[in-house]
A and B are shown apart, each in its own frame.
Chain A
Amino acid sequence: MKVLLILAALSVAVIGKETFEGHQVLRITGKNEFQHSLLKDMAEMEHLQLDVWMEPIDLSTPVDIRVPFTSLQTVKAFLETEDIPYSVMIKDLQVMLDEEKEQRLSAARATEPRTTDDYDYTNYHNGDEIYSFQEMLVAENPKLVSKIVIGQSYEGRPLNVLKFSTGGTNRRGIWINTGIHSREWITQASGTWFAKKIVTDYGRDAALTAILDNMDIFLEIVTNPDGYNYSHKTNRMWRKTRKPNPGSSCDGTDLNRNWDAGFGTAGSSGNPCDQTYRGPKAHSESEVKSIVDFVKSHGNLKAFIDIHSYSQRLMYPYGYTATPCNDQRELHDLARKAITDLASLYGTSFRYGSVMTTIYRASGISIDWSYNQGIKYSYTFELRDTGRYGFILPANQIIPTAKEAWLALMAIMEHTKDNTN
């Protein structure tokens, strides 16, 4: 009994952190009834904060107890004094938990989906995983999908475009890109979902089938792969490319200020350290130049849709000037229809209008360039949300966001099909 009083007297203040650093799990085998009852009393001493993992059923089974770091010396001294055999089962519980967690995470990462049917659309994926997805999609749908490499990023990553086509020669085309700004993760995730949606709906959904029977769809999911990689590994809020700027310690160009439409005018920055840095000259970034070259050589694109987040808007040209574009009326009416369709799914409310009036003056943007190339149905989306989560939209909103945006895309694509030749 004296020994138990010692235990009680050696109480240590509980620190109260929710970590198991230094905690050990001891396996204790009482040799007789007396020792068992001592162990029971010890376990009940509140100040020791012992946590019995496995109760002894009888004399032969051991008792496993988690002992916080602060109680270790006391407990071990007690066991040794009373000559109760014990062994250390877990030397540092926190280390073990951390290792387990790391294993679980890397197992989850390593468990690669084998088909686009077991790809997890409800989660964000890194660039390599999206590249694998693209390979799988093409392999599974060889008659419908092919991959075109339109160029290379600054760091040498392929710039992949998925072409969805049911044949013909240089049919009218629809261009869609996501992820031009790397931190807008909901867009790359939605782009992936759109790709799967197209192959799923062809032959099943009349409207999509009619579109693909007459036109091709080109989808670039990771438009800024270097930035995307950087946003995973180093800085979640990275927006630009990763190309260094000579004479500056600041890297990167804003890909959506680098296009040759009002390039260099108000609405972009000439400072390499700024998030809206336009680059040294129009199309200086390979990620933009590759699209420019592709669009020009294709020569028959009728819609160009550049998808961003956040703020829930659907916008048409111009950003670099307040002068309304020639097709303002039609683009405005189509935008209204598109966002009405979008809202029909979950009630999500999008605003619409020209870039300039709706959000801000922005120069050198993609859709101003594409519109000036003669691609009338040039639109830019800003997907969910309106600022509560902003760029870090919870993964459980990926599918609802993609689904509602798809309805707006369908409205634009259908109108394009019916109003061009």
Chain B
Amino acid sequence: MTTGVLNPSHYPARRAATVVQHYLNTRYGSPYRWIFLSKVHSGSAEDVAEMRKYQLELTMQETISNVSGQCSAELLFPGGEGQSAPQVQASCEGLLQSNTTAQEEAFYQQHRASNNMVSGTDIPDSYGHMEPNMKPFWHLGGVASSFIMLRESNESTLYNMAQVANFTQLETEKDQLRFNYHVLLHEMISQEIIHWKLLVTWSPEQGVKVLQSELQPKCHDCEAPPNTTN
């Protein structure tokens, strides 16, 4: 394991920085706010007891407004056996500048009444296309996936959400919009596509939460989700 000053172009810093990205999305993400790693400026790693501690200086970008911000982050990857999630602390400047309140509120009001349940499949589709009204659900899927990606990350993984296979809106409960999501995650080191089913809630006040998550069994010759013509 690399220890000491990290080369920002090399993979150890990059993987740790992506974990910070997932963390920021769990904290701040919404149907109108989705954050991605832009650049690693510097980093260092050290062994602390049985754990691995990283310190990073990063630029993150909010992908809808294109606003960037500088972030300082500290991560702890647990050592030894067991699979507990990394712990992250991060503070960013300027990243959350974009005012998403109006859009979030409008989206929330539009979908909280129960007489018009929304659903979608293959977002984006094979050609990278999605209907404009599906975009916030794509963002929401990405943010929800971040909870799983954060939890599952270690120094030998690099996760991205590859696609929302499908989502279905459920009855609003306790003022939270609720959805079942089936997402495809891409893990870069193994190159595997990992399927997860998530029960997701969101409201402007409470943010995104994942109430339940279920790993889907690896299917060897996965059929494309329904609605894809063969």
Given known A273-B218, A276-B191, A393-B128, contact A235–B162 (CB-CB < 8 A): no
Query: Bound state CA distance, A181 and B33, in angstroms?
Result: 32
Q: How far is the CA of A388 from the CA of B191 in the complex (A)?
A: 16
A-B contact count (CB 8 A): 98
Per the bound structure, the CA–CA distance linking A269 and B192 in Å amounts to: 12
Please tell me if the beta carbons of B9 and A353 are within 8 angstroms of each other in the complex.
Answer: yes
In contact, A239 and B191 (Cβ under 8 angstroms)? yes
Q: Answer yes or no: B124 CB below 8 A from chain A CBs.
A: yes
Determine if A390 is an interface residue (Cβ-Cβ < 8 Å): yes
CB within 8 A of A251: which of B63, B127, B221? B221
Q: A249-B220, A251-B221, A386-B37 are in contact. Are A392 and B126 (CB under 8 A)?
A: yes
B129 within 8 A of A: yes
Asked if B163 contacts A392 (CB within 8 A), the reply is yes
- B192 contact from A274, A349, A358, A393, Cβ within 8 A: A274
Q: Which residues of B contact A254 (CB under 8 A)?
A: 191
Query: Does the CB pair B9–A351 fall under 8 Å?
Result: yes
Is residue B222 contacting chain A, with contact meaning CB distance below 8 A?
yes
**Interface residue B7 (Cβ < 8 Å from any Cβ of A):** yes
B227 shortest CB reach to chain A, Å: 12
- A405 to B225 alpha-carbon distance, docked (Å): 33
Given A388-B36, A395-B129, 13 new contacts (CB under 8 A)? A123-B127, A232-B126, A236-B224, A237-B184, A237-B186, A239-B191, A351-B14, A358-B9, A359-B188, A390-B160, A390-B162, A392-B126, A397-B128
Check if A349 sits within 8 Å of B39, measured CB to CB.
Answer: yes
Q: Cβ of B174 < 8 Å from any Cβ of A?
A: no
Q: Are B222 and A237 closer than 8 Å at their CB atoms? A: yes
> Is B223 close to A, CB under 8 A?
yes
In the assembled complex, B11 has its CB within 8 A of some CB on chain A: yes
Q: Using Cβ atoms and an 8 Å threshold, which residues of chain B touch A232?
A: 126
Q: With the chains together, A328 CA to B2 CA distance in Å?
A: 21
Cα–Cα, bound, A391→B160 (Å): 11
In the complex the two chains form, what is the Cα distance from A349 to B220 in whole Å? Answer: 35
B103-128 residues at the A interface, CB under 8 angstroms: 115-116, 124-128
A360 to B156, CA, bound (A): 9
Q: Give complex CA distance A236, B126 in Å.
A: 6
Q: Which residues of B contact A388 (CB under 8 A)?
A: 36, 63
B179-217, CB < 8 A from A? 184, 186, 188-193
A272 to chain B minimum Cβ distance, whole angstroms, is: 9
Which residues of chain A are within 8 angstroms of B7 by Cβ–Cβ distance?
357
> What are the residues of chain A within 8 A of B184 when measuring CB–CB?
237
Q: Does B101 contact A (CB under 8 A)?
A: no
Query: Is B126 within 8 A of A234, CB to CB?
Result: no
| Chain A residues within CB distance 8 Å of chain B | 14, 16, 123-124, 185, 231-237, 239, 249-251, 254, 269, 273-276, 311, 349, 351-353, 357-360, 386-397
Most A CB atoms within 10 A — which of B128, B190, B193, B223?
Answer: B128
Please tell me if the beta carbons of A276 and B223 are within 8 angstroms of each other in the complex.
Answer: no
When C-beta atoms are compared, the residue in chain A nearest to B119 turns out to be: A17
Quick check: A273 and B220 within 8 Å, CB to CB? yes
Residue from the set B116, B193, B218 with the largest chain A CB neighbour count within 10 Å? B193
Residue of A nearest to B15 (CB): A360
Task: Tell which of A360, A389, A391 touches B11, judged by Cβ atoms closer than 8 Å.
Answer: A360
Nearest to B40 among chain A residues (CB) is A351
A389 touches B124 (CB 8 A): yes
| Chain A minimum-CB-distance residue to B223 | A234
Residue from the set A233, A359, A387, A393 with the largest chain B CB neighbour count within 10 Å: A387
Interface residues on B, range: 35 or more
Residues from chain B with Cβ under 8 Å of A233 in the complex: 230
Contact assessment for B190 and A274 in the assembled complex, using a CB-CB cutoff below 8 Å: yes
Alpha-carbon separation in the docked complex, A152 to B112 (Å): 56
19 A-B pairs in the complex with CB atoms less than 8 angstroms apart = A14-B115, A123-B127, A232-B126, A236-B224, A251-B220, A251-B221, A254-B191, A274-B190, A274-B192, A351-B14, A357-B7, A358-B9, A387-B36, A390-B160, A392-B124, A392-B126, A392-B163, A394-B124, A394-B127
A357 near B128 with CB under 8 A, answer no
Chain B, residue nearest A354 (CB): B10
- The chain B residue sitting closest to A186, CB to CB, is B128
A253 CA to B116 CA in the complex, in Å?
Answer: 45
Q: Among the listed B10, B115, B186, B190, which residue makes an inter-chain contact with A276, where contact means beta carbons less than 8 Å apart? A: B190
Whether A395 contacts B191 in the complex (CB less than 8 A), given A273-B220, A353-B10, comes out as no
CB neighbours (8 Å) of B221 from chain A are 234-235, 250-251
Task: Report Cα–Cα, A14/B188, bound state, in Å.
Answer: 46
Question: In the complex, which residues 93-149 of chain B have their Cβ closer than 8 Å to any Cβ of chain A?
Answer: 115-116, 124-129
A275/B128 in contact, CB under 8 A: no
Task: Decide if B218 touches A234 in the complex (CB within 8 Å).
Answer: no
Tell me the complex Cα distance, A14–B14, Å.
51
Q: Give, as a whole number of angstroms, the nearest-CB distance from A246 to chain B.
A: 15
Q: In the complex, A388 Cα to B223 Cα: how many Å?
A: 23
Is A234 within 8 A of B124, CB to CB? no
CB pair A16 B124 closer than 8 Å: no
**Is B11's CB under 8 angstroms from A358's CB?**
yes
What chain B residues lie within 8 Å of A387 (beta carbons)?
18, 36, 160
Chain A residues positioned under 8 Å from B160 (CB to CB): 387, 390
Q: Once bound together, how far apart are the Cα atoms of A400 and B105, in whole Å?
A: 35
Q: Which residues of A contact B188 (CB under 8 A)?
A: 311, 359-360
A390 touches B186 (CB 8 A): yes
Complex alpha-carbon distance, A275 and B222, angstroms: 13
Given A273-B220, A352-B9: A237 in contact with B162 (beta carbons within 8 A): yes
Q: Which 10 A-B pairs have CB atoms at the shortest separation, nearest pair first? A: A394-B128, A387-B160, A275-B191, A250-B220, A16-B116, A237-B193, A357-B10, A392-B128, A236-B126, A351-B9
For A352, list chain B residues within 8 Å (CB): 9
